[in-house]
Amino acid sequence: MRLTNKVALITGGASGIGKESAELFAREGANVVVVDVHEEPSRNVAESIRAAGGQAIAVGADVSRSDDCRRMVEETERRFGRLDILFNNAGIMLGDDDDAERTSEATWHKTLAVNLTGVFLGCKYGIPALRRAGGGSIINTASFVARLGAATPQLAYTASKGGVLAMSRELAVIHARERIRVNALSPGPLHTELLMKFLNTDEKKQRRLVHIPMGRFGLAREMAQAALFLASDESSFMTGAEFLVDGGITAAYVTPE
Ligand code: NAD
Residue that wins the pLDDT comparison between 197 and 247: 247
Please give the distance, rounded to the nearest whole angstrom, from the Cα atom of residue 31 to the centre of ligand 1.
Answer: 21
Q: Which atom of ligand 1 is nearest to the CA of 64?
A: 18
Which protein residues touch ligand 1 with a CB less than 6 Å away?
A: 11-12, 14-18, 36-38, 61-64, 89-92, 114, 118, 141, 143, 187, 189-190, 192-195, 220
Domains of the chain: 7-246 (3.40.50.720)
Please give the distance, rounded to the nearest whole angstrom, from the Cα atom of residue 99 to the centre of ligand 1.
Answer: 21
Residue from 44, 92, 147, 221 to probe ligand 1 pocket by mutation (most atoms less than 8 Å from CB) = 92
Question: pLDDT digits over 127-185, tens only?
Answer: 999 999 999 999 999 999 999 887 789 999 999 999 999 999 999 999 999 999 999 99
pLDDT bucket at 193, cuts 50 / 70 / 90: confident
**Predicted confidence (pLDDT) at residue 254 exceeds the cutoff of 80:** no
Residue from 9, 10, 17 to probe ligand 1 pocket by mutation (most atoms less than 8 Å from CB) = 17
Please give the distance, rounded to the nearest whole angstrom, from the Cα atom of residue 92 to the centre of ligand 1.
Answer: 5
Nearest Cα neighbor of 54 from 30, 80, 73 is 30
Mean pLDDT score, 67-84: 98
Secondary structure in 3-state letters for the chain: CCCCCCEEEEECCCCHHHHHHHHHHHHCCCEEEEEECCHHHHHHHHHHHHHCCCEEEEEECCCCCHHHHHHHHHHHHHHHCCCCEEEECCCCCCCCCCCCCCCCHHHHHHHHHHHHHHHHHHHHHHHHHHHHCCCEEEEEECCHHHCCCCCCCCHHHHHHHHHHHHHHHHHHHHHHHHCEEEEEEEECCECCHHHHHHCCCHHHHHHHHCCCCCCCCECHHHHHHHHHHHHCHHHCCCCCCEEEECCCHHHHHCCCC
**Predicted confidence (pLDDT) at residue 234 exceeds the cutoff of 80:** yes
Question: pLDDT digits over 35-52, tens only?
Answer: 999 999 999 999 999 999
Residues with catalytic annotation?
157
Whole-number pLDDT of residue 257: 66
**Predicted confidence (pLDDT) at residue 54 exceeds the cutoff of 80:** yes
Whole-number pLDDT of residue 256: 65
* pTM for this model (two decimals): 0.97
The mean of the pLDDT values for the chain is: 96
* 5-19, 120-134, 207-221: least confidently modelled range: 207-221
Q: Which atom of ligand 1 is nearest to the CA of 18?
A: 26
Calpha distance 154→152 (Å, rounded): 7
Residue percentage of the chain with pLDDT more than 90? 89
